[in-house]
Structure 1
Amino acid sequence: MPSQGTIGDRVRGLRLSRRMSQAQLAGPDLSDSYVSLIESGKRTPTLVVARLLAERLGCTTEFLLHGIEPRQRIDTELGLRYAELELQHGDPYTAGERFSEIAKIAGEENAILSAHARLGRARALESQGRIGPAVEAFERLRREAATHPERLADLPLTVALSRCYQHAGDALRAHDLATQALTQVNRLALNEGTVAVDLAASLMESETARVPDSPGLAYVRHVLSVNGVPAAVNRIIEIRTLWEASITAAEGEDSALAVHLADDAIAAGRPAQMALRLARVATDWSRLTASLGTESLDEANKLTTAASRVFGTFPDRVHDYAKSLVVLASVQLGSGNPDGAAGLAGSALAALDGRSGVTAATARLVLARVTLALGEGDVMAILRGVRELLDSSMPVISGLDRESARVWRELGDLYGRIGAGKEQVSAYRKALEAAGVRGAMVGMTVDSVLVR
């Protein structure tokens, strides 16, 4: 049975296909003028009236109201769950395709299902690294949420856009959106859950969290104090077993069981997803704490230690694990333990197993700082190695990249400490380029906002 247009369109189409007049459809319970108003879209039938009309038209109430049969609806719901599983534990490109297909099937007649599918597609675009299209998709959804708040919540979209604009290099827009979201969560006293943790992550990347004691940084610290970094269990085998069982059930025409099993698979992955989110926030907050030299190094040490345990539980999180070890090394160095810092930096390099990039370069910078602190070894040789790592990684980390800007700046600072002025200026120029500034004047320094 085709899904066409509005409720009124479906009533009229079915009535004509049954060769019924409006008066015949109205029967003794309704007036033919009321039926006419429904067909013209000037009236929306109540559930009782919809049931009555569906019975006389020989269709289901579900189809009349939503343009979709119960079996079609449950299959669409199942498709949404499989797309979500692909996004969380599979391929974001496959997830994006699934979400797009569901959005087309749902159409305007099923506005809520369609909105959820389009939201999933926007998230998939972000996971694919296609930030421009993701921003466009999230912006459209946010405009829709303003008009139809019953379909979508504005707050998660605001947080997602803040994150995407930050990745796109528009720090001002990211800051404005993060501030708007922070106002909302403070009004709601929201400190737990996905929205709160995602906002904390966005604040760590925005300008709001770059000033000591800023409202943004205070919120991040509060979220971490409330939630901590919970231990995580890698349940990917269980998730995939449930997922495959759901597919088998669907193939056997048992859609209700398939939906139930898919829900179980999604639920099994949620604790680990939350632990990973919090671990990333804790790592970033601890790195900032170490760079500011605050009195919270003990807290940073505990949080980063917990974060490294979480990342170490998942074999595919090698980079995050190494990054947490480097941050922990910086915390240890700031706490007066250079030997412990050197050991952790070495463990990070071992975990990276020869991979180049920002994390490997940062680990070597820690070793250079340890060498300076102990007064032993060739600091210049270590810094040359850092520069070679960064130069070899430029095709990967080129463009607007706060992380590479931060490492180039730290490299310049260390060159300055050993009196290598020419190398210092060159490193600062690279920091400016990575932050999106071109043609910097000789001797121009980088604002600390770019590198913390």
Structure 2
Amino acid sequence: MPSQGTIGDRVRGLRLSRRMSQAQLAGPDLSDSYVSLIESGKRTPTPVVARLLAERLGCTTEFLLHGIEPRQRIDTELGLRHAELELQHGDPATAAERFGEIVKVAGEENAMLAAHARLGRARALESQGRIGPAVEAFERLRREAATHPERLADLPLTVALSRCYQYAGDTLRAHDLAAQALAQVNRLALSQGEIAVDLAASLVETEATRGPDSPGLSYVRHVLSVNGVPAVANRLAEIRSLWDASVVAAEGEDSALAVRLADDAIATGRPARMSFRLARIAMEWSRLTASLGEEPLEEAHELATAAREVFGTFPDRLHDHARSLVVLAYVQLRSGDPDGAAGLAGSALDMLVGRANATAATAHLVLAQVALSRGEGDVAAILRSAHELLTSMRSANSNPDREAARVWRELGDLYSHIGAGEEQASAYRKALEAAGVRGAMVGVTVDSALIR
């Protein structure tokens, strides 16, 4: 187990356990006063001095500097990688537990390892949808990054918090954090890599009501133009094989090989993770530009099509695949192709049979708009189907839900087209409630910027 305390505590503890004086430990190379300063925490030994002290104290330099033996450290590093694989390709709840265990093992005396484990746990909490605890964890890490920038970078934490506050319904805080991150990214001229893509994903949400020419959405468009939505092969079987091999190597106490195999598994999954993120950004961008009536819509069509191709490659991404079909249907509808839109919306509903979610409800809204454009079909019945799906979601989820709020608003808009005033008012009220605004009264005019 790691030693408790600071470098000075370890030097003093080992010296006393070996019945050495400070002068004996100092020897001919150091002064006893310098040893005293190290033990009191007023000096940190250089690597050369640390090696010298470790030899005289009969321990490893790694233990003296970090309070952990080389084997223990590599096992902790391996634990971090296996927890990361669990987060990316397994169970986020299990990942959170594993990261938490590493925090306990590493302790505060191994600040770097502990910080990375706490960051992993915060990401796992977010992945579970436990946004409140995730925000608390990210906020603590951001304060730590301000005090100890050598442990954690502030920029990724700012982006993560913007994303979490957006999920939680605090759009003003989310926008402020995204703006801070955007200023940093612009100074760095950064448009590629995980930070840039994560920020674009946050901005496409926080800037949705500010128009396509806003600084945030301009950055999103730039990221998409630079990165595109790259096609990616399904390498999940390869990732699983490497992960399993890493576990077997660890059980055989070949920790170095286990770490290498885990690193290979993580690297193998990286292209798909980036492609998924870019595909989601592309979907939201396409939907947003189509809803704003931006012309021409060829770019939106290309991006939505690319997203559909990415998610269609992965059977476990069924919901994302269905959503990409609905977004593409929406773009087709705005482009004047109601038949194509109806076919895509119908395909999405076939995928989502038995699932009550906003994507299925949106597919029904597309079909209702197709029926309106053709002047045929029972529009009221189609809208009732969407209403029932959204009501099922509402009973199962009491948290703010921006996407559900947007669909309720669109449902209200469509009710107005068929003269269903009571249903329209009810849908608008529920849009406000889904956005986190409670106690809305009948007849209140909804600010669509809240729920767009």
TM-score of the superposition, structure 2-length normalised? Answer: 0.97
What is the aligned-residue identity percentage?
A: 81
Offset, 1:389: 2.0
Deviation string for 1:130-187 (max 9, x for gaps)? 1111111100100000011110000000000001111111111111100100111111
Q: Aligned partners of 1:318 and 1:268: how far apart in 2? A: 21
Q: In the alignment, what sits opposite 2:396?
A: 396
Alignment of 1:7-406 (within 5 A): 7-207=7-207, 210-406=210-406
Deviation string for 1:209-248 (max 9, x for gaps)? 6433111111111111111111121111111111111111
Q: Aligned partners of 1:439 and 1:102: how far apart in 2? A: 44
Q: Aligned partners of 2:141 and 2:179: how far apart in 1? A: 19
| Paired amino acid for 2:156 | P
| Paired amino acid for 1:175 | H
Change (3 A) 1:397 1:339: farther
| Paired amino acid for 2:167 | H
Q: Is the 8 A contact 1:246 1:257 kept in 2?
A: yes
Change (3 A) 1:135 1:399: closer
Q: Aligned partners of 1:2 and 1:195: how far apart in 2? A: 33
Q: In the alignment, what sits opposite 1:438?
A: 438
Q: Aligned partners of 2:94 and 2:399: how far apart in 1? A: 28
Offset, 1:249: 1.1
Offset, 1:36: 1.0
Q: Aligned partners of 2:209 and 2:424: how far apart in 1? A: 27
Q: Aligned partners of 1:2 and 1:213: how far apart in 2? A: 53
Q: Is the 8 A contact 2:246 2:262 kept in 1?
A: yes
Q: Is the 8 A contact 2:304 2:327 kept in 1?
A: yes
| Paired amino acid for 2:366 | V
Q: Aligned partners of 2:267 and 2:57: how far apart in 1? A: 40
| Paired amino acid for 1:60 | T
Q: Is the 8 A contact 2:60 2:69 kept in 1?
A: yes
Change (3 A) 1:76 1:2: closer
Q: Aligned partners of 1:142 and 1:136: how far apart in 2? A: 10
Offset, 1:411: 1.1
Moved more, 129-138 or 414-423: 414-423
Change (3 A) 1:327 1:41: same
Q: Is the 8 A contact 1:122 1:137 kept in 2?
A: yes
Q: Aligned partners of 2:150 and 2:327: how far apart in 1? A: 43
Q: In the alignment, what sits opposite 1:6?
A: 6
Q: Aligned partners of 2:439 and 2:89: how far apart in 1? A: 43
Q: Aligned partners of 2:451 and 2:328: how far apart in 1? A: 18
Offset, 1:88: 0.3
Moved more, 84-93 or 249-258: 249-258
Offset, 1:50: 0.8
Q: Aligned partners of 1:209 and 1:442: how far apart in 2? A: 24
Offset, 1:409: 1.0
Q: Aligned partners of 2:172 and 2:318: how far apart in 1? A: 32
Q: Is the 8 A contact 2:432 2:451 kept in 1?
A: no
Offset, 1:395: 1.8
SS at match of 1:160: helix
Moved more, 349-358 or 69-78: 349-358
| Paired amino acid for 1:377 | G
| Paired amino acid for 1:167 | Y
Change (3 A) 1:399 1:99: closer
SS at match of 2:355: coil
Change (3 A) 1:428 1:42: same
SS at match of 1:377: coil
Structure 2 residue runs of 5 or longer lacking an equivalent are none
| Paired amino acid for 2:40 | S
SS at match of 1:393: helix
Change (3 A) 1:354 1:119: same
SS at match of 1:4: coil
TM-score of the superposition, structure 1-length normalised? Answer: 0.97
Deviation string for 1:35-58 (max 9, x for gaps)? 111111111111111111111111
Change (3 A) 1:374 1:389: same
Q: Is the 8 A contact 1:413 1:424 kept in 2?
A: yes
Q: Aligned partners of 2:180 and 2:190: how far apart in 1? A: 14
Structure 1 residue runs of 5 or longer lacking an equivalent are none
Q: Aligned partners of 1:58 and 1:269: how far apart in 2? A: 42
Offset, 1:444: 2.2
Deviating 4+ runs (over 3 angstroms): 207-210
| Paired amino acid for 1:101 | E
